[in-house]
Structure 1
Amino acid sequence: MFGTPARSRRLTLALATVTALALGATACGGTTKDDASKDGGSAAAGKADPNAETKKGLTVAFLPKQVNNPYFTTADNGGKKALQELGSSYKEVGTSSGTDTAGQVSYVNTLTQQQVDAMAVSAQDPGALCTALKQAMRNGVSVVTYDSDTNADCRQVFVSPASAEDLGRTQVELLAKQIGNKGEIAILSAAQTATNQNAWIDVMKKELEKPAYKDIKLVKVAYGDDDAQKSFQQTQGLLQEYPNLKGIISPTTVGIKAAAQYLSGSKYKGKVKLTGLGTPNDMRAYVKNGTVDAFELWEPAKLGALAAHAAVALESGQITGEKGQSFTAGDLGSFTLGEDGVVSPGEPTVFTKSNIDQYDF
């Protein structure tokens, strides 16, 4: 895993060094490095100083899986607010598609060339960004992933919405309770390559092996690619293919909203149960009209804010991404990195008719 180099910039005068850097960048997917470079090399060799002064004037770029997605808009705005409070600058770039991995790679390379201090990335694919992200770290850019991870050696810190175990388990519990622990169910996911979705689904499958769920049968995992129309069509297809379907879990904000929209206008409303991960503002109408009984989500603004704080902590040398290191994230409190540099803002909130109006995001 790469760490955080010192942040001072200086001209690289040795021609051999410039040539080596240029060749290395070419080999790593076309990213180049300007003569003004960040000094210090790989920070893996350095030690974290939790008492180091928090740096100001940094530029932190957010690269979500999909821009103009309400979930990521909320998350990234949380990061923006945190950076403003920390005295640093925020920018957001990204693709309008949730499956454009080539586009994400291009943005990582561009941000590296622009010499941002740090980037927070929600990866569409666990491995596709690795070459570009490793080059970014070699060039002195701190890399945090949030919401959806890369391979662990391709970033320094991963801000996880909640543990995969908690999210997978609780979504099964929510749906099982609604269908009386019996019947056929399906999962409506995002993209087949989505790291977080696959981790949660793996936990769901293991959870369903428990004796308590012996009468529940998972008949299919469908993929809506975080596209509203495709997710709507996939919901329709599931109900046509499995007329006895009792419930659907959709661990994606785009998917659960699209599924609720279909169910709400169909004969299945109130009969086929739906749960998963959604935002209160997206799901409020469907909870109030009886289409959805309960769903869950962490607060995305806190996720983005924690990603921003982690990026600044890396840049300030307070952490390097190693297990056991701690940093303070403003009003969110103090956090300690777990295995592979993973940190989480806490457990998800369950939303029902009784509490949904208490939330606005």
Structure 2
Amino acid sequence: MSLATVRTRRLTLAVATVTVLALGATACGGTTKNDTDKKSGSAVTGKADANAETKKGLKIAFLPKQVNNPYFTIADTAGKKAVEELGSTYQEVGTSSGTDTSGQVSYVNTLTQQQVNAIAVSAQDPGALCTALKQAMKNGVSVVTYDSDTKTDCRQVFVSQASAEDLGRTQVQQLAKQIGGKGEIAILSAAQTATNQNTWIDFMKEELKKPEYKDIKLVKVAYGDDDAQKSFQQTQGLLQEYPDLKGIISPTTVGIKAAAQYLSGSKYKGKVKLTGLGTPNDMRAYVKNGTVDAFELWDPNKLGELAARTAVALQSGQITGAEGQTFKAGGMGTYTIGKDGVVSLGKPTVFDAKNIDQYKF
């Protein structure tokens, strides 16, 4: 073995040793906004540069839970506007059913094959999309979830409508106030597997454990699958099964509208209180005719826009999804990525007869 060869091998060993030590120091030192993204399956490597130039000519795809859902139409239209404003190309794909998880998986696989740069997806199921999304990330596709999350290692950033805890607890607080703090209540949810719905419901149950709700009893969680007819029928079924029901929480825009439609034409109008998450345009008539006192929601326009801007920021290398990173979202301001790669849009807005006409979405 030559002297040159020995020196080369010693140098290689030294570099490897320094590299291992550096990686060990990073693992012990916590996450900073400059850390390399280490999420399983992620194609993102290197450090984030908040001042990196925004890339143009990207292909950004939106995959909502349900393409014909008015709520997602609003959100995705805003996403389209933001994508095009940033100089990139937008497309929306998806199923017409709010429960077709296999259809969502197929769309992710197709988008990956089409070599889109980023996917913004509202997951119908917390785990069903994971394999497909991880493969997408390995292929260099940035993955953002919005409205409904998947597992944390199956995407880079989740754009949350608001704090899940805030949303769950405030809906209980709204209904408790409306029914005078006592009586039987029910929840009319969307799909039984919907990540966001189940997270909010868990916080609702936690809120109901507080002493001030000792006279309120949650009798049932029903599922309308984000289908208007089924949600209407589930509302009817709840009132037949529980004739003493005092209130319903429906944390889904399709569900609350269907429930309001049923209550509005029944003997329960004004007697059984209804709250939850709805859009002002859907609920305006029911607030004005006395069926609904108050409900809440975030602005889906802003949710869609933030999802789009987050996707572009990921592809531009301005963020990787690590906690503490910040990025500019145009006129929306600067956002900070929180724990588990979550970006929160902000506090929900409560709509009632006094303010509902101020909102047009």
User: Aligned Cα RMSD in Å?
Assistant: 0.8
> Which residue in 2 is equivalent to 1:225?
225
Cα offset for 1:43?
Answer: 4.3
Distance 1:146-1:42 versus aligned 2 partners, 3 A rule: closer
Cα offset for 1:88?
Answer: 0.9
SS in 2 for 1:180: coil
Instruction: Tell me if structure 1 keeps the 8 A contact 2:247–2:274.
Output: yes
| 1:130 and 2:125 aligned | no
> Which residue in 2 is equivalent to 1:111?
111
Instruction: Tell me if structure 1 keeps the 8 A contact 2:42–2:156.
Output: no
Q: Would you say how many aligned residue pairs link Structure 1 and Structure 2?
A: 321
SS in 2 for 1:150: coil
TM-superposition CA deviations, 1:241-266 (whole Å, max 9, x none): 00000000000000000000000000
> Which residue in 2 is equivalent to 1:295?
295
Instruction: Tell me if structure 1 keeps the 8 A contact 2:43–2:138.
Output: no
> Which residue in 1 is equivalent to 2:249?
249
Residue 294 of structure 1 aligns with an amino acid whose one-letter code is A
Q: 2 CA distance for matches of 1:334 and 1:145?
A: 19
> Which residue in 2 is equivalent to 1:146?
146
TM-superposition CA deviations, 1:174-225 (whole Å, max 9, x none): 0000000000000000000000000000000000000011100000000000
Residue 65 of structure 2 aligns with an amino acid whose one-letter code is K
Instruction: Tell me if structure 1 keeps the 8 A contact 2:260–2:292.
Output: yes
SS in 1 for 2:281: helix
Q: 2 CA distance for matches of 1:42 and 1:230?
A: 38
SS in 2 for 1:124: coil
Segments of structure 2 that go 5 or more residues without pairing to the other structure are 1-40
> After superposition, where does 1:1-361 map in structure 2 within 5 Å?
43-361=43-361
Instruction: Tell me if structure 2 keeps the 8 A contact 1:64–1:121.
Output: yes
Instruction: Tell me if structure 2 keeps the 8 A contact 1:294–1:350.
Output: yes
Q: 2 CA distance for matches of 1:133 and 1:283?
A: 35
Cα offset for 1:45?
Answer: 3.4
SS in 2 for 1:191: coil
Cα offset for 1:126?
Answer: 0.4
TM-score calculated relative to the size of structure 2: 0.88
> Greater Rg, structure 1 or structure 2?
2
Q: 1 CA distance for matches of 2:308 and 2:181?
A: 41
Instruction: Tell me if structure 2 keeps the 8 A contact 1:189–1:251.
Output: yes
Give percent identity, aligned residues only: 84
Instruction: Tell me if structure 2 keeps the 8 A contact 1:43–1:320.
Output: no
Q: 1 CA distance for matches of 2:352 and 2:107?
A: 38
Cα offset for 1:68?
Answer: 1.2
Q: 1 CA distance for matches of 2:153 and 2:102?
A: 20
Cα offset for 1:44?
Answer: 4.4
Residue 139 of structure 1 aligns with an amino acid whose one-letter code is N
Q: 1 CA distance for matches of 2:195 and 2:253?
A: 15
TM-superposition CA deviations, 1:241-300 (whole Å, max 9, x none): 000000000000000000000000000000000000000000000000000000000000
Q: 1 CA distance for matches of 2:105 and 2:84?
A: 27
SS in 1 for 2:91: strand
> Which residue in 2 is equivalent to 1:20?
none
